[in-house]
């Protein structure tokens, strides 16, 4: 068996990109990450079917097994007391002739707990849309209409007990938020953050706004921490972490998406060779 190289993590505010599988991030050492913030592929959403199929999953349970393996790897990488924060939404889909809800948040809670995490109180992110009165089904005639899914879940998990810091830790003190931020951020329903559709020629779309990533980074990490996104996608978490003086590590398995990440990181000045 070959030796796994031990990497030197980036300095404060730098970004490191790793091509590969979120389930096996062998180039990062144990207990080297302070916070994981990610919005993984959502099971039973058609745009992610091909990705899950490539990873060997063709059904709902298999899709969540893949995600649970990634959470298990996050557990290895986090420091004691470090947090995993997952943004995920449920899905609606017809399968076997039956239209039904696929409760991704519930399976995420189960999978992360089985990976060794302790679930913490979660947030309902009520995403404002351009169609606030949208509905599914038969309109004004009961009983065959359906509630619109306009909330997603922000699910925090902790590795072990509370994270410990030295008395009067300077980085922790410098990461302080104010009273208004505390009161707003640590309430259970967030309705002040709009989704950010990312429509591009390559077809990948998302609604993970920079403001949401920045909020989570500030809530659950301190200056100088390393923040990991194992499903880096368009890099929203990475840029937010770097902006708030955290180090960022992003993992992305799609070669085309990884190339775009590198281009963006260079354009933002986070990688060598930036203009």
pLDDT digits (tens, 9 = 90+) for 10-50: 457 899 999 999 999 999 999 999 999 999 999 999 999 99
For residue 30 the two structure tokens come to 């144990």
Give the closest residue to 225 by CA, choosing from 12, 80, 83.
Answer: 12
- Position 250 scores a pLDDT of 98
Fold of 37-73+85-207: Rossmann fold (3.40.50)
- Segment among 59-73, 145-159, 237-251, 261-275 with least mean pLDDT: 261-275
- Position 273 scores a pLDDT of 52
> How far apart, in whole angstroms, are the C-alpha atoms of residue 160 and residue 187?
23
Q: How far is CA 168 from CA 51, 173, 178, 217, 222, in A?
A: 46, 7, 18, 21, 13
- Mean pLDDT on 236-258: 96
The more confident residue out of 130 and 90 is 90
Helix crossing, 236-243 with 210-220: angle to 10°? 50
pLDDT digits (tens, 9 = 90+) for 91-140: 999 999 999 999 999 999 999 999 999 999 999 999 865 455 555 666 67
Confidence of residue 4 (pLDDT cuts 50, 70, 90): very low
Q: How far is CA 173 from CA 162, 170, 176, 182, in A?
A: 17, 5, 6, 15
- Mean pLDDT on 225-231: 98
Helix (H, G, I), strand (E, B) or coil at 131: coil
Could you tell me the pTM of the whole model?
0.91
Give the closest residue to 223 by CA, choosing from 259, 175, 184, 179.
Answer: 175
Helix (H, G, I), strand (E, B) or coil at 165: coil
Pairing assessment for the beta strands 91-95 and 247-252 based on DSSP bridges: unpaired
Confidence of residue 6 (pLDDT cuts 50, 70, 90): very low
**Bond prior to 143 in cis (omega within 30° of 0):** yes
Taking phi over 0 as left and psi of -120 to 50 as alpha, with beta for the rest, 203 belongs to left
- Mean pLDDT on 79-85: 98
Task: Indicate the average pLDDT of the chain.
Answer: 89
Give the closest residue to 78 by CA, choosing from 129, 25, 34, 29.
Answer: 34
Share of the chain above pLDDT 90, in %: 78
Q: Where are the domains of the chain?
A: 37-73+85-207
């Amino acid at each position: 068996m070959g030796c796994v190289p031990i990497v030197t993590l980036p300095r404060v505010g730098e970004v490191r990109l790793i091509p590969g599988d979120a389930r096996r991030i062998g180039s990062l050492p144990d207990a080297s990450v302070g916070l994981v913030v990610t919005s993984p592929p959502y099971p039973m959403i058609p745009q992610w079917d091909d990705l899950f199929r490539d990873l060997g999953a063709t059904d709902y349970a298999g899709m969540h097994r893949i995600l649970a393996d990634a959470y298990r790897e996050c557990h290895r990488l986090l420091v004691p007391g470090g947090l995993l924060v997952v943004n995920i939404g449920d899905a609606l889909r017809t399968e076997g002739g039956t239209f039904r809800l696929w409760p991704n948040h519930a399976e995420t809670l189960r999978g992360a707990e089985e990976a060794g995490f302790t679930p913490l109180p979660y947030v309902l992110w009520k995403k404002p849309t351009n169609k606030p009165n949208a509905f599914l089904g038969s309109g004004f005639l009961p009983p065959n209409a359906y509630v619109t899914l306009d909330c997603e879940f922000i699910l925090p998990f902790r590795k072990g007990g509370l994270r410990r810091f030295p008395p009067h830790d300077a980085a922790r003190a410098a990461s302080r938020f104010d009273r208004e931020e505390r009161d707003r951020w640590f309430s259970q329903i967030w309705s002040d953050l709009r989704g950010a559709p990312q429509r591009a020629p390559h077809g990948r779309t998302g609604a993970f706004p920079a403001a949401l990533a920045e909020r989570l980074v500030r809530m659950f990490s301190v200056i100088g921490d390393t923040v990991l996104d194992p499903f880096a996608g368009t890099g929203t978490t990475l840029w937010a972490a770097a902006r708030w003086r955290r180090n960022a590590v992003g993992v992305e398995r799609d070669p085309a998406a990884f190339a775009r990440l590198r281009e963006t990181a260079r354009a933002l000045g986070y990688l060598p060779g930036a203009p």
